Structure 1
Amino acid sequence: MTAVREFDAIVVGAGFAGVTAARELRARGLRPVVIEARHRIGGRTWTDTFDGLPIEYGGGWISPFAKLAMAELDRYDIPLLEGVLPMPEWAVFPVEDGSLESFDGNVALGRLGELLTTIFEGSEKLLPRPHEPLFAGERIRAVAGQSLRERLDSLHLDTRDDMWISTLVGGFAGGSSKDGAYEALAQWWQVAGGKLADWITIEGQAPASGMSALVQEILNDAEADLHLNSPVTRVDDDGSLVRVTTASGREFAAPVAVLAVPANVWRTIDFRPGLPPVHAETAERGIGVPHTSRLWLRVRGDFGPVHVRDVENGLLTPMFTHAVLDNGEQLLTGYSQDPSLDVSRPEQVRAALQRLLPQAELISYRAHDWGHDPYSLGGWTLRRPGQLTQLPEVQEPHGRVAFANDGIASGWNGFVDGAIESGFRAAGQAADIAGK
């Protein structure tokens, strides 16, 4: 099959990293084509409706401290709605024997905040310039191999405190605090301002028009030819031209390419020549949390806004009130990092809800399993122990192919802001390779 060659650059993936790269390539005078595996743009962001209510299946919040994402909102005149989550009146948290008990919301979340402040104490010395995570040199390299579990163990917390903080940080790491790097979560703390009052901005602030609308605005500016339903299976780089082949057998060719798909997906693509060792290792080990589902549950029951956390590695944790509806029902949202929860089976979702919140009657729900999504193979990014020191290498292009995704960002690693950052960087690298 003859390759389509009327483009100057190929961008694989139409998430935030990909559309940003395409727009910036256009700004450098290159004509990009965007090839997307799904039937939609947005990658791991996806705005939809549920019973007439707007929801996000993937990343849906932007912190005011995320400067690149905020600049995009300003550029397209999209307001950021702050404080969209109601304050929980009560909380359900685990206790020493593994059972769940109810607490006053202010008390439980206040204690959780104190514990966060404790575990991140001193992180400003490790990450004095949090958007340059290796700036502190040997000081940060010395802890880059430490897991969140090891950090918690060093604090010698009592059983309940350990259970409360481990379910939070373990959830961010994909279920287990053994899997996430301490410095990775400490970097989240520092890029968000380095204080508890700032940390809470990473949730609850949303673009008024939804994430998908922002992605579309960026793509519009790219003026790129878009091909949906086109999973890429092979990337050939002969030193002068990159050929990209889709599952249908269609080929695209251009002098440069930007691979803007999650690092977890790299291992599903046949690279010729193969990936450099650091990229291959990253793909095999993964950066995105491997098993995560996002759920939206419409429930009824006589209770106010709630915040629920199960034990670490629990079936559905966290879960919290997103909105109280006019008829008294609630829209809850929650996450599961346990692959044994089949979100396509209502009886399993109902049983998980019943364990956590027996007062709630499930009316309906929507969910997406990102771990089994073949074009994500996982959710958001949180680096594994030891991966930080590989970051400079994994950010580099290979031949005529540059890489972009939230997982290889220097700053807001794992967030939309990080995806945008990596799109800017990859576009610059690709344009330099192309001589633009």
Structure 2
Amino acid sequence: MSIVTTQPSDGLSRRGLLTAAGAAAVGLGVLPGQAVADEVTAYDAIVIGGGFAGATAARELRARGRRPLILEARDRIGGRTWTDTFQGKRIERGGTWVHWSQPHVWAEMMRYGLPIVEDPGPDRVILSTDAGPRSFPPAEAFGRIGELLNRVFEGSSALFERPFDPLFREAEVRAIDGLSLRGRLDQLRLPPQDEGWINGFTASYAGGTNARGAYTQMAKWWALAGGTNSAWGTATGHYRVEPGTGALVQAILADSGAQVRLRTPVTSVVDNGRQVVVTTRSGERFTAPIAVVALPVNVWKTISFSPALPAAHAAATREGIGVPNGTKIWLHVRGDIGRVYAQPAEGNPIGSLIPFASLGDGQLFVAFSFHDTFDGTDLRQVRDAVQALEPKADVVSIKAQNWSKDEFSLGAAAYMQPGQLTRLHEALQRPSGRVAFATADIALGWNGYIDGAIESGVRAARSLG
């Protein structure tokens, strides 16, 4: 595999040099690159996007005898996963957790011999009460939340009898697909404290508000995980790739043999019936018999497609599947607060606060925010929000990634809205002429997870023959 970094007109920037140096450090060949307007270069296949979906699609195309080109808009690979460092610790600024119930990512872990690491649990849990945030023993807090979740998703395993074929029981799924998480919680008529304990949990997946999120989305995940709260907890937030998600996507890319061009945003995709012509922001053009668009659904609308996107694809990118407000925040916290986990009620600026590691002068936490007016990149706002949950917490520094304001994601992880599964899902799996679409957002199974990105990449490449 070779990596080309596209230069600005005044020569290779310092950032481009650092990108090339970083690629060389992980053992990837690096070539100097210069974008030239009106130049046309032909390949066997083009993959737009260098995240897990794109990397997997490229490897699958290579296995089918094609020489793929990957065009990646960012100055790094990984898409909505991003292994970085903070306070001397390896962190993930995007997608993180894996599990053996996620078959596609687990197969890749075994293939490349990458170990996992288990995140330790908290020693206390802060939840909302009528009197404000209060600490509870983990067994009591998680025990009650588990009982509530089992009620919320009762019957999910029957509804999604074959969860990797989510419309296997189409009539039953269609009958309930218009229900939001808010609607499901309203059906249960929970006491105020139970409502406060559970609505923040579900809202943190749906993008901050239960009214936005489809009940069927989380019900499908629930069935995929095993249909119980204990299975859910270990399947979705307990194990990480020990050397980082970056190590896994790099391994997949290395096997793809693809040429990777970084800092190369795409503006146009034209399928003229004989070949696909892809034009970049700098004016450079590439052609290939087939192409895979491996970008988040929310980003499709920023590209000009000819012919126009099919109706379902156009609706999906207009409505959005990636949650519209999503910031992942790493925090260096001082203060005698222990390994505290916080899960406030829906509407709080902090969706959840999770302990990660001890530091020499404090602790490292990770938080998620889905609040539309809260700036998770602002230290003062973050400090105030955390102290409203735990007054002893002194947030001294942060590293945050607002995926919603990232022009190449325009949203955080996937969570479908009511009606989208039955209205859009099947059509989103199909290619449009010589162009296929791959993204974790539209995966059959674990959409929104690394597993879904890998599944989607394989399926898209195979759909083009």
- Using the size of structure 2 for normalisation, the TM-score is 0.90
Distance 1:339 1:374 in 2: 17
CA contact 1:115–1:161 (8 Å) conserved in 2: yes
1:89 to 123, 130, 134: 123
1:59-138 matches, within 5 Å, as: 59-81=95-117, 83-84=118-119, 86-96=120-130, 99-138=132-171
Distance 1:133 1:231 in 2: 33
1:140 to 142, 151, 173: 173
Distance 1:71 1:251 in 2: 36
2:222 maps to what in 1? 189
Tell me the CA shift for residue 303 of structure 1: 2.2
2:25 maps to what in 1? none
2:452 maps to what in 1? 418
Tell me the CA shift for residue 313 of structure 1: 2.1
Tell me the CA shift for residue 267 of structure 1: 0.8
Look up the equivalent residue of 1:226 and give its one-letter code.
Answer: V
Distance 1:100 1:133 in 2: 38
2:405 maps to what in 1? 372
Distance 1:350 1:283 in 2: 34
CA contact 1:370–1:379 (8 Å) conserved in 2: yes
Instruction: Provide closer, same or farther for how the CA distance between residues 226 and 392 of structure 1 changes in structure 2, counting only shifts above 3 A.
Output: same
Residue 52 of structure 2 corresponds to residue 16 of structure 1: yes
Distance 1:63 1:78 in 2: 13
Look up the equivalent residue of 1:51 and give its one-letter code.
Answer: Q
1:180 to 201, 213, 221: 213
2:255 maps to what in 1? 221
Identity of aligned residues (%): 47
1:28 maps to what in 2? 64
2:439 to 390, 405, 413: 405
Distance 1:20 1:131 in 2: 19
Distance 2:254 2:38 in 1: 28
Distance 2:338 2:352 in 1: 17
2:341 maps to what in 1? 307
CA RMSD of aligned residues (A): 1.2
CA contact 1:261–1:405 (8 Å) conserved in 2: yes
Residue-by-residue CA offset, 1:164-188 (whole Å, 9 max, x unaligned)? 1110111100000111111110111
Tell me the CA shift for residue 105 of structure 1: 2.2
CA contact 2:196–2:344 (8 Å) conserved in 1: no
Instruction: Provide closer, same or farther for how the CA distance between residues 212 and 270 of structure 1 changes in structure 2, counting only shifts above 3 A.
Output: same
Distance 2:376 2:172 in 1: 43
2:200 maps to what in 1? 167
SS class of match (2:383): helix
Tell me the CA shift for residue 357 of structure 1: 1.7
Residue-by-residue CA offset, 1:243-275 (whole Å, 9 max, x unaligned)? 111111111111110000000001111111211
Tell me the CA shift for residue 106 of structure 1: 1.8
Aligned length, in residue pairs: 427
Tell me the CA shift for residue 96 of structure 1: 3.0
Tell me the CA shift for residue 3 of structure 1: 4.6
Larger deviation: 101-110 or 280-289?
101-110
1:191-340 matches, within 5 Å, as: 191-201=224-234, 202-325=236-359, 327=360, 329-340=362-373
Tell me the CA shift for residue 136 of structure 1: 0.9
Tell me the CA shift for residue 345 of structure 1: 2.3
Residue-by-residue CA offset, 1:344-372 (whole Å, 9 max, x unaligned)? 32211221122122111112211110010
Tell me the CA shift for residue 328 of structure 1: 6.2
CA contact 2:38–2:283 (8 Å) conserved in 1: no
Listed as ranges, the gaps of 5+ residues in structure 1 are none
Tell me the CA shift for residue 240 of structure 1: 1.0
Larger deviation: 359-368 or 215-224?
359-368
Residue-by-residue CA offset, 1:367-415 (whole Å, 9 max, x unaligned)? 1100100000111111111111121101111111100001110011111
2:15 maps to what in 1? none
CA contact 1:89–1:106 (8 Å) conserved in 2: no
CA contact 1:91–1:307 (8 Å) conserved in 2: yes
SS class of match (2:176): coil
1:391 maps to what in 2? 425
Distance 2:183 2:375 in 1: 31
Larger deviation: 154-163 or 414-423?
154-163
Listed as ranges, the gaps of 5+ residues in structure 2 are 1-36
Residue-by-residue CA offset, 1:251-304 (whole Å, 9 max, x unaligned)? 111111000000000111111121111110000100011110000101111121
Distance 1:199 1:343 in 2: 27
2:387 maps to what in 1? 354
1:150 maps to what in 2? 183
CA contact 1:105–1:306 (8 Å) conserved in 2: no
Tell me the CA shift for residue 339 of structure 1: 2.9
Residue 365 of structure 2 corresponds to residue 342 of structure 1: no
Distance 1:254 1:193 in 2: 42
SS class of match (2:97): coil
Distance 2:145 2:392 in 1: 24
